[in-house]
Chains A and B, each alone.
Chain A
Amino acid sequence: MKRIEIICVLFLLILFFPAKSAFAQDKKMKEALEARIKDDKEFAKSQRWKYDDNAWKHSWEGAQLSELYKKWGAPTRSFADGDGGQVAVYENVSVYSGGSYTPGYIETAINGFGQTVITDQKNAKDTRWTKVYVRETTVYTNRNGLITKVDEHYK
Chain B
Amino acid sequence: MKSSPTSILIVLFILGICPAFAQGKYFEVVSKKSNGSKTYNGYVMPANGQGYVVLSYQGKTKEQLRSAVFNYIKARPSLWIVKLSDRDERIEYGNFATIGDTSKCIVNLVSSTRVDVEPDNGQLKLYIGIFNQIYSSLYGTARFLISRDGVVVSENETPFNEYKFVQPDSRKEALAYPESVFDTNGKVVNPANKKTIEGFYDGYVADLKSYLDKNLK
Contacts and interface: CB of A to CB of B under 8 A. Distances in A.
A and B are partners in one complex rather than unrelated chains = yes
Interface of A: 28-29, 31-33, 35-37, 39-41, 43-45, 47-48, 50-51, 54-55, 58
Contact of B176 (A35, A41, A54): A35
Given A43-B162, A44-B158, A33 B176 contact: yes
Contacts of A43: 159-162
B177 A36 contact: yes
A51 B138 contact: no
Nearest to B174: A32
Given A51-B153, A54-B149, A44 B160 contact: yes
B147 A39 contact: no
A58 B148 contact: yes
A44 B172 contact: no
**Residue from B157, B159, B172 having most chain A Cβ neighbours under 10 A:** B159
B153 A40 contact: no
Given A40-B138, A44-B157, A29 B149 contact: no
Contact of B172 (A28, A37, A39, A45): A28
A44 B154 contact: yes
Interface residues of B, number: 22
B1 interface: no
Contacts of B159: 37, 40-41, 43-44
Given A28-B175, A32-B172, A51-B153, A37 B147 contact: no
A123 B145 CA distance: 56
Given A32-B173, A43-B162, A54 B138 contact: no
**Residue from A33, A36, A44, A58 having most chain B Cβ neighbours under 10 A:** A44
Contacts of A51: 145, 147, 151, 153
B151 A50 contact: yes
B154 to A, nearest CB: 5
A31 B172 contact: yes
B184 interface: no
